[in-house]
């Protein structure tokens, strides 16, 4: 079972996914200038650009995206910094296969600017969450989380970098579970069918 990765920018999670040896069938971006596309091309991974501005509606954009995704018949569709919100139809079509990484310990700080908001709130732990995508933004069933400390004097950029290192740990791990058919969703909660699986990481490393 392969996976398709959707990106809009840098692509560091894409790199971590590829470095973990996961079978990336294609990388699709809504932006032609996404740096992650260059990484994919250099590594012989099929790429496609679906520029959202060229579509008259969200439905039309999602249709075009789905046509490319379906050509790969992927076991998972991984959002990795993909900055578009899907229509409910797209989400329903890929239910149980559509997965995202979000840079906060959900349900805290859904949406944008999570690191600055975490600093402003004075939280002492921050982190990232891998979750299934549902029609409600950043609220799908949680697969894995990593926590890091918030240190005195942290800037949003420093905190973001600390969190990102852990994104690169938990996202490939969660995707391997999904592709391996190990994830079970029960009452909106996710269990891994593997007694050795750790669904959390705490990294005190600054
Ligand atoms: C990551 O922080 C991810 O959590 C968020 O967008 C960022 C993408 O970074 N959804 P990259 O493109 O994977 O480097």
User: All domains of the chain, ordered by start, with CATH?
Assistant: 1-94 (3.40.50.170), 101-206 (3.40.50.170)
Query: Which pLDDT value is given to residue 205?
Result: 77
- Summarize the chain as % helix, strand, coil (round to 5): 35, 25, 40
Q: What is the pLDDT of residue 156?
A: 98
> Using CB atoms within 10 A of its CB, is residue 108 exposed (0-12), middle (13-18) or buried (19+)?
middle
Residues lower than pLDDT 70 in the chain: 206
Distance 12 CA to ligand 1 centre (A): 7
pLDDT the model gives residue 206: 65
102 as an active site residue: the answer is yes
The residue whose CA is least distant from atom 14 of ligand 1 is 12
**Residue to mutate, 8, 29, 38, 81, ligand 1, most ligand atoms under 8 Å from C-beta:** 81
């Amino acid at each position: 079972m392969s996976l398709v990765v959707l990106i809009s920018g840098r692509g560091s999670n894409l790199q971590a996914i590829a470095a973990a040896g996961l079978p990336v069938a294609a990388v699709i971006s809504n932006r032609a200038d996404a740096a992650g596309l260059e990484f994919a091309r250099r590594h012989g991974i099929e790429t496609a650009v679906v520029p959202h501005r060229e579509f008259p509606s969200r439905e039309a954009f999602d249709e075009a995206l789905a046509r490319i995704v379906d050509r790969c018949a992927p076991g998972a569709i991984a959002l990795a910094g993909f900055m578009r919100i899907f229509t409910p139809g797209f989400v329903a079509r890929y239910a149980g296969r559509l997965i995202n990484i979000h840079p906060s310990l959900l349900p805290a700080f859904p949406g944008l600017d999570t690191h600055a908001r975490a600093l402003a709130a004075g939280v002492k732990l921050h982190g990232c969450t891998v979750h299934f995508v549902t029609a409600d933004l950043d609220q799908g069933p949680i697969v894995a989380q990593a926590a890091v400390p918030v240190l005195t004097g942290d800037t949003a950029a420093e905190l973001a970098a600390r969190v990102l290192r852990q994104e690169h740990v938990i996202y490939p791990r969660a995707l391997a579970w999904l592709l391996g058919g190990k994830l079970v969703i029960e009452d909106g909660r996710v269990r891994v069918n593997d007694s050795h699986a750790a669904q959390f990481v705490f990294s005190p490393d600054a």
